[in-house]
Amino acid sequence: MLKRLTTSQSPFRPSPLRLFFSYIVLGFWSIVVLFPLYWLLVTAFKSPIDVSSGPKYIPWVDFTPSLYAWNEIVVSTGVTFVTRPYSNTLIVGLVSSLLALIIGTCAAYALTRFEYRPKPAVIGMFILCIIGGLIVMAAGVPPIIAIGSAVILFIVLANTIGKRFKGTMNNGDITFWLISQRMLPTVAVIIPIYVLYQQLSLLDTRTALIITYTTVSLPLVIWFMRDYIANIPLELEESAFIDGASRYLVLWRIILPLAVPGLIATFLIVLVFNWNEYVLALFLTRAESQTMPLLIAAQNATRGPQWWNISLLVLMMIAPLIFLAILLERYIAKGLLVGAVKG
């Protein structure tokens, strides 16, 4: 009897005892994951007294569900209190993820199909010109003149001295450089971006957030999509070129349809990051373009955290993503794996 419990019929079918312990562990972790979410759900429908008078677990048994939080944040404070941050998050998240997907996929395609030979010397000159421009700017020269002269200087230098240097880099270097941008801590770049947007009067606008989110998402998109596209055989494109199709048509008609699973996974992952982004929004927005994470963080207010309101806000914010995750779970694993295998 004991033997039948501990040995399995086939190497791939776990023995009953093993199955039992597996379920205990998996069940435990399911509770670890689901219980906080359940708590979030019930707290969102509690009145303040039910929150502060000890734990109440089951609606209609321990407490009567109320729409207190709903009334407080949606009805009494005016609809825009929630709808404005929500629509900001929605628009910024969707648009920036989509833009990053488009720009990143194009770049990933280009990096797998063309050979680039940028010269380190030219890049070095570019950086020197930027530093020169900045120093001049710091010395009091108007920005437009400083930037303009730096650009002209760079073009002149690149076309004269730059052409003499032999050393080149290749696609691998460009790809590595693009992907390594992910390593950049946001705080290391945020101050200049802040000043830049201030000068362009883009602070506290959705446009600023969209541009920034698109940029920080690019490394992820390029990383995942590069491997997807590299796996698509060249022959498919070649026959189209013989028929006279242009590069863009091939990308649109042949590559994109074949890369749909990868595109979906990448979009979802990037959307999750942009939807939940906090630090950049913290620096770049105030009231007008405030996003949901900021609204939630701001609930840590003077009267002490109002758990019922916070829970409802978090619930509203995560609902769409949870729904998408359940719907597209298969794609996520697959899409992430392709990127991770090749590194």
Residue 173 identity: D
- The Cα–Cα gap between 250 and 256 comes to 9
Touching other proteins, residues 18-47 (CB under 8 A): 18-19, 22-23, 25-26, 29-30, 32-37, 39-40, 43
User: In the chain, what is the greatest distance between 2 CA atoms, to the nearest angstrom?
Assistant: 88
Give strand pairing partners of 59: 63
Q: Shortest gap between Cβ of 75 and other proteins (angstroms)?
A: 22
- The Cα–Cα gap between 149 and 133 comes to 8
Which of 66, 153, 237, 258 binds other proteins (CB under 8 A)? It is: 237
Backbone phi, psi, residue 63, to 5°: -155, 165
Q: Shortest gap between Cβ of 312 and other proteins (angstroms)?
A: 11
Touching other proteins, residues 75-94 (CB under 8 A): none
Q: Shortest gap between Cβ of 77 and other proteins (angstroms)?
A: 19
Which of 47, 70, 81, 118 binds other proteins (CB under 8 A)? It is: 118
Q: Is residue 202 near other proteins by the rule CB under 8 A?
A: no
**CB count in 10 Å sphere of residue 102:** 14
Q: Shortest gap between Cβ of 12 and other proteins (angstroms)?
A: 5
Q: Is residue 222 near other proteins by the rule CB under 8 A?
A: yes
Pattern 48-77, other proteins, x by CB under 8 A: ---xxxxx-x--------------------
**Cβ atoms of 15 and 6 closer than 8 Å:** yes
Q: What six digits make up the tokens of 251?
A: 């990308």
Q: Is residue 241 near other proteins by the rule CB under 8 A?
A: yes
Nearest to other proteins of 83, 300 (CB atom): 300
Touching other proteins, residues 170-199 (CB under 8 A): 174, 178, 181-193, 195-196
Q: Shortest gap between Cβ of 204 and other proteins (angstroms)?
A: 16
| Tokens 């079918």 sit on residue | 13
Q: Is residue 106 near other proteins by the rule CB under 8 A?
A: yes
Vertex 312, ends 302 and 70: CA angle to 5°? 90
Which of 152, 156, 301, 340 binds other proteins (CB under 8 A)? It is: 340
Angle between helices 206-230 and 260-276 (to 10 degrees): 150
Q: Is residue 341 near other proteins by the rule CB under 8 A?
A: yes
Q: Shortest gap between Cβ of 73 and other proteins (angstroms)?
A: 14
Q: What six digits make up the tokens of 109?
A: 């395609």
Residue among 137, 121, 140, 106 nearest 247 (CA): 106
